[in-house]
Amino acid sequence: MIKFGTGGWRAVIGEDFTKSNVQLLTTAIAKKMTDEGRTEKGFVIGYDRRFLSDTAACWAAEAMAGRGIPCRVIHRESPTPLVMFTVQQEGLPYGMTITASHNPAVYNGIKVFMDGGRDADELLTSELERYVLNTDESEIKTVPFEEGLANGAIQLIDPMNQYIDSIIRSVNMGAIRSAGLKVVLDPMYGVSRTALQMILMTARCDVDVIHERHDALFGGRLPAPNDKTLTGLISYVKEKHCGLGIATDGDADRLGVIDDQGNFLHPNKILVLLYYYLMKYKGWHGAAVRNLATTHMVDRIAEDFREVCYEVPVGFKYVSAKMAETNAIIGGESSGGLTVRGHIQGKDGIYAASLLVEMIAVTGRKLSEIYREITDRYGTCEMIESDYRFGQQEKERVTKILLRDKLLPEFPFLIEKVSYLDGCKVYFKNGGWVIARFSGTEPLLRVFCEMPTLEDAENVGNILKNYLSLGQDS
């Protein structure tokens, strides 16, 4: 069974992530390309450093070549944004990368990209699911990898330099060069090191790297940058007196930042800082796009600059589609992904980190100082996030209460409106909000709440948790 979630298809290795499913999905894509008459330019495949990712990339290439579609495989493990960049640059109709992003090590998966290098939108993923259902395993035709390489049906490519050059061209390298920053990178055993180290060292930063060896178990932690998983980076920043710590998730499309004091900077703050920086310091104008579980501080900044902030469901495919529609200058999510107009149409931790370093260099100020300037102007927002594991029965129970019967607890704040666009989101009249939604990437119910004070956010989050009789925060 192949079902796409918030960010691609993800499955437990050996359970659903199997050779036959990888080749089934690839065959489905190939059939769709053939039906659309879009096979000529071919297809690109990338892979990250997870267990089986490189092997699965070969399986996919064999199945794509077996359908007579020219197939390029990036010659070594790559950041997801590099694969998206390649789809965009080469004008390809589709591409894929083998990754399960930030999921636990037992998972692997496939992210599919469409023209322009965007994440496959809902229309495409539902069509692909339909194609998969209508594809029989006997339709999988393969060309052995080595044979494909020898006869040119499969080609190994190395687009890394163009990608790095395009980032170098779009950030103020001169300013970074003058700032003489000491930066420590934490790729979380994933794939960002080559690109990020190259960009920052070209800008003459003093760069240290931790957690860079290949470890398909990600050091026993989740390859998702947050305050709990980045304790090693936090200690390193403090001990070695670094100006900044930068982490990326397993496939490098998300970013996590540690400031010079060793504090974890929530992705909400990174998005807010960069939007503010682009408008206030770089003189850009334009809308912002955020998902509905991301800070509304972005809206306050947009309003102040007479711009609009658009809200979309969780999933970067929605963010990039809205950015394209509105020509927004930035789009991001509280889970740590963002992109900026002019760069690729998907989230990119490497690019976002480079822009953040530029911001520190250009302003000559600490991240905490710039953020204080923002809260002095727009007030404070505090967000709490809790994830709850559930079984099938639990899922049905919560779905009934919240999404079918649309019941809500009594809150100590006046409600402005309730939305069921993605889970259930309650907007309060004081600007705060709380959302409960099922993750599309993991078996979790996510409860996020943002209020002017942390105390209120915790209180509202607890009211919803108790009302839904949720267990321990996982």
Distance of CA 93 to the CA centre of its chain: 21
Q: How far is the CB of 346 from ligand G6P (least distance, A)?
A: 9
Between helix 160-170 and helix 349-363 the angle, nearest 10°, is 30
Nearest residue to 17 via CA among 110, 134, 147: 110
- Token reading at 149: 């390489």
Considering beta carbons, is residue 10 or 72 the nearer one to ligand G6P?
Answer: 10
Considering beta carbons, is residue 72 or 347 the nearer one to ligand G6P?
Answer: 347
Angstrom CA distances, 359 to 48, 336, 350, 370, stand at: 29, 18, 14, 10
Q: How far is the CB of 294 from ligand G6P (least distance, A)?
A: 9
User: CA Rg, the chain, in Å?
Assistant: 22
Considering beta carbons, is residue 193 or 347 the nearer one to ligand G6P?
Answer: 347
Buried-exposed string 310-337: b where 16+ CB fall within 10 A, e elsewhere: bbbbbbbbbbbbbbeebebbbbbbbbbb
Considering beta carbons, is residue 314 or 350 the nearer one to ligand G6P?
Answer: 314
Between strands 288-291 and 309-312, the pairing is parallel
Q: How far is the CB of 5 from ligand G6P (least distance, A)?
A: 7
Considering beta carbons, is residue 23 or 291 the nearer one to ligand G6P?
Answer: 291
Q: How far is the CB of 464 from ligand G6P (least distance, A)?
A: 16
Considering beta carbons, is residue 23 or 345 the nearer one to ligand G6P?
Answer: 345
Residue 446 makes CB contacts below 8 A (sequence gap 6+) with 293, 385, 386, 387, 388, 423, 435, 436, 437, 438, 439
Considering beta carbons, is residue 99 or 135 the nearer one to ligand G6P?
Answer: 99
Q: How far is the CB of 221 from ligand G6P (least distance, A)?
A: 17
Q: How far is the CB of 92 from ligand G6P (least distance, A)?
A: 20
> Sheet of 330-332: strands edge to edge?
309-312, 288-291, 330-332, 338-340
User: Applying CB under 6 A, which residues contact ligand G6P?
Assistant: 6-7, 101, 314-316, 333, 335, 337, 439-442, 446
Considering beta carbons, is residue 93 or 315 the nearer one to ligand G6P?
Answer: 315
Under 8 Å between Cβ of 307 and 285: yes
Residue nearest to ligand G6P (CB): 7
Which residues, listed in sequence order, are joined to residue 418 by a DSSP beta bridge? 426
- Report the alpha-carbon angle 31-35-39, nearest 5: 75
Considering beta carbons, is residue 64 or 402 the nearer one to ligand G6P?
Answer: 402
Q: How far is the CB of 275 from ligand G6P (least distance, A)?
A: 17
Under 8 Å between Cβ of 385 and 205: no
What DSSP string describes 207-263?
Answer: EEE-S-S--TTGGGS-SS-STTTTHHHHHHHHHTT-SEEEEE-TTSSSEEEE-TTS-
Q: How far is the CB of 436 from ligand G6P (least distance, A)?
A: 12
Distance of CA 330 to the CA centre of its chain: 14
Q: How far is the CB of 315 from ligand G6P (least distance, A)?
A: 5
Q: How far is the CB of 350 from ligand G6P (least distance, A)?
A: 15
Considering beta carbons, is residue 190 or 440 the nearer one to ligand G6P?
Answer: 440
Angstrom CA distances, 311 to 13, 298, 325, 419, stand at: 34, 10, 13, 11
CA–CA distance, 144 with 63 (Å, rounded to integer): 9
